[in-house]
Structure 1
Amino acid sequence: MNTEKVTTRLQLRGYGATRYQAEAITKNLTAVANQGRAYAYPVSDVVASIRQYLQRPRIQPATRQILEAVLQALLERLGNVIEVPFGSSTNPEINKLARQLTQARSRTDSALAELKATAATLKAKYNM
């Protein structure tokens, strides 16, 4: 089962990107699926594309600000940052509970990011 997270140009517009920016970011990417009539691109590929786009020397400050906000929203969706407790206790019960807490927090953050993605899609779709 493929659980790779995807995004569309419409969703990128919902995050705040303009139509041109969404097209420029995804222009060289390969669509992995269709969501309705829209092409869906892997979030990790879109993140890499935005980072590459931000490396351009003549990018306008407003464009940079918009793309950094979109990048942050997409990174939240990936949720691949794991906090490592370096000062953890040697008590196995506390370690087990800390691991469960971290996993529950990760699932909650992931669900919230997916809800924000849905909200961004609806925002762009209905021009809100």
Structure 2
Amino acid sequence: MKDVYAISIDQSVLTKMKQATGHPGTIVTIPAGNIGKSQKQPTTALGKCMNWGVDVSMPDEVVTEILRIYVENVDKFQQLSPAARVITKKTVAAVEVPEARMHPAAVKFYKANKIQIGSLKTAGVIK
């Protein structure tokens, strides 16, 4: 794996960019070391949750099974990248997508498993 070098961006620049473009990302401070060993300082960036999406026509049982497998194996996703350590059973629905835009079976799964739908901020992962 190659080293990744994080570049911090001034928060006022990110704010202006968000206002000009309507980008839904959240301005975040990534703790030192979270991106990798070469990240020595906290880094200000525009965070956007990585998530999976499916069409509403996908059968409910398929959506439910995908989510069940994902939640059961979340520890394996954490091993893919230092940044993936934020993926936990508590944060799998912290994807900054409004509940109304989620597949109904996903919403049902999250609620049945007491997984909060929201963002990494509402999940308490970032400030």
* TM-score bracket for the superposition, by shorter chain length: under 0.3
What TM-score do you get using the length of structure 2 for normalisation? Answer: 0.28
What TM-score do you get using the length of structure 1 for normalisation? Answer: 0.28
Larger Rg: 1
Bigger share in helix: 1
